Amino acid sequence: MKITKTNLEDAFLIEPKIYEDDRGFFYESFNKRKFDTLVNYPIQFVQDNHSRSRKDILRGLHYQIKNSQDKLVRVIHGSVFDVIVDLRKSSNTFGKWYGVELSAKNKKQLFIPKGFAHGFLVTSKYAEFLYKTSDYYYPEFERVLLWNCQSVNIDWPSKNPELNNRDTRGLTLEKCEIFK
């Protein structure tokens, strides 16, 4: 397992060791002992989520203001442009973003710590997206950072993605509830 720091504090890109031959492949998608050792961030996941979306669907940028969640995300079919934004006011990388292609082919995963907004844009015909969370989903605490907030200035691969009503009503960074 190779773990690389991103340009944002406490967020990591994870590349599992893949064992592949003519029969197929095998890899550990998560190993708590290795994760705790390499990242030095003890974690307990309590929920797994699975979504499927078609090309040009953008989901996000979501976060929970209470019961915030650490997330470990990956794609098992297709590809997405995955984005995180640091919403921790005390962080040196507050308001900054990081984007990476996650795909079934590259098998990369992204660890997203508490205090980050998260979203993704499907770049293939469709994509299946899996993620683990360290706390349960509480809709009353969910908030949405506007996907095209000018002060964050994310360079999305599509300028006209399809969003649901909730995500089109996201708030700018200046108006969002943020973390201390």
CB 97 within 8 A of CB 83: yes
Active-site entry in 62, 63, 98, 118: 62
- Residue 118 a catalytic site member: no
Residue 171 per-residue DSSP state: B
- Residue 62 a catalytic site member: yes
118-151 in b/e form (b: 16+ CB < 10 A) is bbbbbbbeebbbbbbbbbeeeeeeebbbbbbbee
Residue 75 tokens read as 């794609």
Query: Distances from the Cα of 122 to the Cαs of 38, 41, 64, 80, 132, in angstroms?
Result: 30, 29, 22, 4, 19
Active-site entry in 63, 98, 118, 131: 131
Round the CA-based radius of gyration of the chain to a whole number and report it: 16
Q: What is the dihedral of CA 150, 154, 155, 161, to 10 degrees?
A: -90
Active site residues: 62, 131
